[in-house]
Amino acid sequence: MEYIHVHKKYYCGVDLHADVMYVCVMTKAGNVVFHHEMPTDFSRLLKHLKPYLSNIAVCAESTFNWYWLADGCAKHDIPFYLGHALYMKLIHGGKTKNDRIDAKVMADLLRTGFFPPAYPYPEKMRATRDLLRRRSHFTQQHAETLRHIKTLLYQQGYMDLPATHNFSAEKIRKIFSVYKLPEDAAYSLQADLDMIRYLDTVTAKLEWRTLKNARGHDNHALVLLRSLKGLGHILSLTLLYEIHTIKRFPTVQN
């Protein structure tokens, strides 16, 4: 487990939720100077942090909604640190836990040099990375739908089913439409085939968009990745966007 060491006059821990956040600001000596709940609004946060902005660091846990806070801090040149959710839980380990305590614990960990960092993925490429992750979700749905089709046919006694890996929606339709099924089972099969066709269309659009963005983000790295034997365009894109920059790893072990 690695920690970061931040030297500031003030340390701010923010416990984020969908509509509210708890904010704790403490001094280097550990004295709490601000500790309140407020709406998740950066302008409101900035207003309350104004007396401390000359020498402050802000931190938050890597939950689902940290993007706006990191981006707001970046725009106002406020040092922001993202905490590794699992490691923070292991360090804290307290039985008494609520939003007020969590905000104070984060500020305390940052102040004392025991804050376990996560990588705060920068804004420029983040949305495209999430787009690629969404594509992965749709391909999983595609596989689940295909499994349901095969389960449906197994239930009707069709055991020797053809392989359909990487087949197009139309080819899958032609393969499975020849099987005779009871009326409602056939209706269910048709619904699955329609879903596969739609998922293929959506996935293709996401792939096109991601590839287009990648050429603008780091075409040199993309070309290098594509030159590696065994890497297709999806694996190359995945490595490009999940790693972002190799410089974030200080050693080979990392």
Instruction: Give the pLDDT band (50/70/90) at residue 158.
Output: confident
Q: Give the pair of three-digit tokens for residue 98.
A: 């609520």
Residue 239 contacts residue 218 (beta carbons within 8 Å): no
pLDDT at 91: 66
Contact 241, 125 (CB under 8 A): yes
The 10s digit of each residue's pLDDT in 6-50 is 999 999 999 999 899 999 999 999 999 999 999 999 999 999 999
Asked if the model's pLDDT at residue 177 lies above 90, the reply is: no
Beta strands in the chain (DSSP E): 10-16, 20-27, 32-39, 56-61, 80-83
Q: How far is 31 from 143, CA to CA, in rounded Å?
A: 54
pLDDT, mean of residues 174-200: 91
Residue 118 pLDDT exceeds 90 = yes
Domains of the chain with CATH codes? 10-112 (3.30.420.40), 123-248 (no CATH)
Average of per-residue pLDDT values in the chain: 91
Q: What is d(CA 197, CA 78) in angstroms, rounded to the nearest whole number? A: 47
Using the predicted structure, report yes or no on whether residue 199 has a pLDDT greater than 70: yes
Cα dihedral 190/196/200/203 (nearest 10): 140
* Residue-level pLDDT at 207: 96
Check: CB of residue 6 under 8 Å from CB of residue 114: no
Percent of the chain with pLDDT over 90: 75
Helix (H) or strand (E) holding 109: helix 99-112
